[in-house]
Chain A
Amino acid sequence: MKPAPFEYFAPETAEEALALLAEYGMDARPLAGGQSLVPLINMRMAQPAVLVDLNHCCELAYLREEEKMLVSGPMTRQRELEISNTVRAHCPLIAEAVPHMGHATIRNRGTVGGSLSHADPSAELPGVAVALDAEMVADGPNGRRTVPATEFFLAELTTALEPDEVLREIRFPKAPSGSRAAFAEVGSHFGGLALVGVAARVDLDSAGRCAAVALAAIGAGERPARLSSAETVLMGEVLGEQVIAEASEAAVIDVDPLADLHATAHWRRRAVVAMTARALREIADGGEGVAEVRR
């Protein structure tokens, strides 16, 4: 199968891109890395009449450090996140999660904004954004607005962006030094889309107790879920086996997985428990490395 015909624009500024999206409305789609959109176009599951290619908008690709935030442009490649020392130093959870996203060749091309705007319920980066309380900056004909990550992902492949808006910037709060992070996921094969994954960030105080906890699950509902009940169990506790087991069981309270051809809802719930435990154990052990299991 080959793509249906479309009109192609390659604007060089974000302003031009927004003007084109406003002009063509529902007929137009922004094209970022193309790693999700082009497969859909090739299979004719998507047939946009107009493609607005963002790859020439150099101003949309950046990674910047602010006092409290790590700031990414939408067109920053996933590969940039993976190799950046700034990301590893200030948002270790991102550094832990990105190697799980497809393969090196996909990350060379795939973008930060594309992954977040696509909003696949199994995608890692939306889970990270929800765990870190990232701020999503939308830009459109009515100007910019900031949407918290927890309100950005609405349902499967659906975000709070309007058709004439783009995701203009993503702002990740920096972790305090000593903060630990882990990302645990289970899938059918390495680099494949996750079945279930859990993103975890824990700040420990000088006595080794949990001073701040952020947990989010992917692949366990139509959007990433913040695991607040598990977070509550952990607050103020030292990360021991007993507490980890209790918190992991509490994780299912906040997920609502659906059955599909890959797994039953029950299996996904148990996988959330297992991945929560795996991520927390890794954090207890120092929070180094990427946990990956194969089914």
Chain B
Amino acid sequence: MTARRDVRVTVNGRAYTRNVEPRMLLVDFLRHECGLTGTHVGCAHGVCGACTILLDDVSIRSCLAFAVQAEGKEITTVEGLADGESPNALQRAFHENHALQCGYCTPGFLMSLTEFLRETPDPNEAQIRERLSGNLCRCTGYANIVRAVRAAARRPRDEDCAP
């Protein structure tokens, strides 16, 4: 056993303090300590992207960081995207374009794309596909995901809180 540490983080605007072992992965902290099970674990070695979150507004794999490394930081998970009960523009675009089937990969796609659309508000197809290469989906074949990203990017900003 190694010395446990206090970890204080803000997740989706809410403060959490938990006492954990240094070996606890950030994704397990979010799921088991904070009860935020929207962030999924697909591979636990960085390949699938299902665990993607925003750490201080930057997308990272939460299976490749330890919870203790998030001390003092702000985290956004998929639970933080919707405005109350209404999904945001990107989430609606996924829904309307049938960009998910089982949905296991979806939280990771949404978080990675949230950063992408912030940095690249008007992406071309090649940019979209390059960005999607970092997340694996075993159901959809990606075509509808590409369509959803295009739809979300086209949606006027004033129609919804931009992703």
Contact status A34-B64, CB under 8 Å? yes
Contact status A190-B46, CB under 8 Å? no
Residue of A nearest to B53 (CB): A105
For residue B99, CB closer than 8 A to chain A, the reply is: no
Contact status B68-A103, CB under 8 Å? no
Contact of A5 among B23, B28, B65, B115 (CB under 8 A): B23
Known A105-B61, A105-B134; contact A7-B22, beta-carbon cutoff 8 A = yes
Contact status A191-B133, CB under 8 Å? yes
How close is A113's CB to chain B, nearest CB, in angstroms? 17
Contact status A10-B68, CB under 8 Å? yes
Q: In the complex the two chains form, what is the Cα distance from A2 to B31 in whole Å?
A: 15
For residue B131, CB closer than 8 A to chain A, the reply is: yes
Q: In the complex the two chains form, what is the Cα distance from A3 to B20 in whole Å?
A: 13
Contact status A7-B134, CB under 8 Å? no
Contact status A38-B58, CB under 8 Å? no
For residue B21, CB closer than 8 A to chain A, the reply is: yes
Contact status B23-A191, CB under 8 Å? no
Interface size of B by CB at 8 A reads 33
Interface segment, B1-9, B11-19, B88-96, B143-151? B1-9
Contact status A42-B45, CB under 8 Å? yes
- Contact string against B for A residues 220-245, beta-carbon threshold 8 Å, 1 for contact and 0 otherwise: 00000000000000000000000000
For residue B49, CB closer than 8 A to chain A, the reply is: yes
Task: Enumerate chain B interface residues (CB-CB to A < 8 A).
Answer: 1-3, 5, 21-23, 25, 28, 44-46, 49, 52, 58-61, 63-66, 68-69, 71, 112, 115-116, 129-131, 133-134
Q: What residues on A are CB-neighbors of B112 within 8 Å? A: 104-105
How close is A145's CB to chain B, nearest CB, in angstroms? 30
Contact status B65-A109, CB under 8 Å? yes
Contact of A106 among B21, B28, B61, B129 (CB under 8 A): B61
Contact status B44-A42, CB under 8 Å? yes
Q: In the complex the two chains form, what is the Cα distance from A34 to B25 in whole Å?
A: 12
Q: What residues on A are CB-neighbors of B46 within 8 Å? A: 35, 38-39, 106
Contact status B134-A106, CB under 8 Å? yes
Contact status B44-A8, CB under 8 Å? no
Contact status A190-B61, CB under 8 Å? no
Known A55-B69, A190-B133; contact A104-B116, beta-carbon cutoff 8 A = yes
Contact status A190-B52, CB under 8 Å? no
Residue of B nearest to A79 (CB): B58
Residue of B nearest to A189 (CB): B133
How close is B83's CB to chain A, nearest CB, in angstroms? 25
A-B pairs, 3 with minimum CB distance: A103-B134, A8-B22, A39-B45
Q: In the complex the two chains form, what is the Cα distance from A2 to B69 in whole Å?
A: 17
Residue of A nearest to B52 (CB): A105
Known A7-B2, A7-B22; contact A105-B60, beta-carbon cutoff 8 A = yes
For residue A1, CB closer than 8 A to chain B, the reply is: yes
30 CB contacts below 8 A, A to B, read A2-B25, A3-B23, A3-B66, A4-B23, A6-B22, A7-B2, A7-B3, A7-B22, A8-B2, A8-B5, A8-B68, A34-B64, A34-B66, A35-B46, A35-B61, A35-B64, A38-B46, A38-B65, A55-B69, A103-B49, A104-B115, A104-B116, A105-B59, A105-B112, A105-B115, A106-B134, A108-B58, A108-B60, A190-B133, A191-B133
For residue A43, CB closer than 8 A to chain B, the reply is: yes
Q: In the complex the two chains form, what is the Cα distance from A55 to B69 in whole Å?
A: 8
How close is B68's CB to chain A, nearest CB, in angstroms? 6
Contact status A42-B63, CB under 8 Å? yes
Contact of B130 among A3, A5, A38, A190 (CB under 8 A): A190
